[in-house]
Amino acid sequence: MTLKKHIPNLITLGNLLCGTIATIFAVQNNFVAAGLFVLIGILLDFFDGFAARLLNVSGELGKQLDSLADMVTSGVVPGIIMFYLIANNSNSGSFAENTVTNDWFTFNSSSIQIIGLLLTLGACYRLAKFNIDTRQTDSFIGLPTPAMSLFVISLPLIQEHTTIIMVQNLISNNYFLIGITFLLTYLMNAEIPLFSLKFKDYTLKNNLVKYIFILASFLLVFFLKYVSIPLIITLYVVMSLFSNKPTANK
Q: What is the pLDDT of residues 158-178, one digit of tens each?
A: 998 998 999 999 999 999 999
Query: How high is the pLDDT of residue 105?
Result: 47
pTM equals 0.87
Is residue 104's pLDDT more than 80?
Answer: no
Query: Quick one: pLDDT band at residue 98, thresholds 50, 70, 90?
Result: very low
CB 89 within 8 A of CB 177: yes
Is residue 102's pLDDT more than 70?
Answer: no
Rounded to whole angstroms, the Cα distance separating 198 from 201 reads 9
Residue-by-residue DSSP string for 205-233: HHHHHHHHHHHHHHHHHHHHGGGHHHHHH
Query: How high is the pLDDT of residue 101?
Result: 42
* Ranges assigned E (strand) in the chain: 139-141, 193-195
CB 68 within 8 A of CB 47: no
Query: Quick one: pLDDT band at residue 203, thresholds 50, 70, 90?
Result: confident
Strand, coil or helix: 194? strand
Is residue 200's pLDDT more than 80?
Answer: no
Query: Quick one: pLDDT band at residue 56, thresholds 50, 70, 90?
Result: confident
Query: How high is the pLDDT of residue 99?
Result: 41
Is residue 225's pLDDT more than 60?
Answer: yes
Rounded to whole angstroms, the Cα distance separating 156 from 32 reads 8
DSSP code of 90?
H
Rounded to whole angstroms, the Cα distance separating 179 from 174 reads 8
Is residue 30's pLDDT more than 90?
Answer: yes
Is residue 241's pLDDT more than 70?
Answer: yes
Choice among 45-49, 84-88, 170-174, 195-199 with the minimum mean pLDDT: 195-199
Q: Which residues pair with 139 in a beta bridge?
A: 195
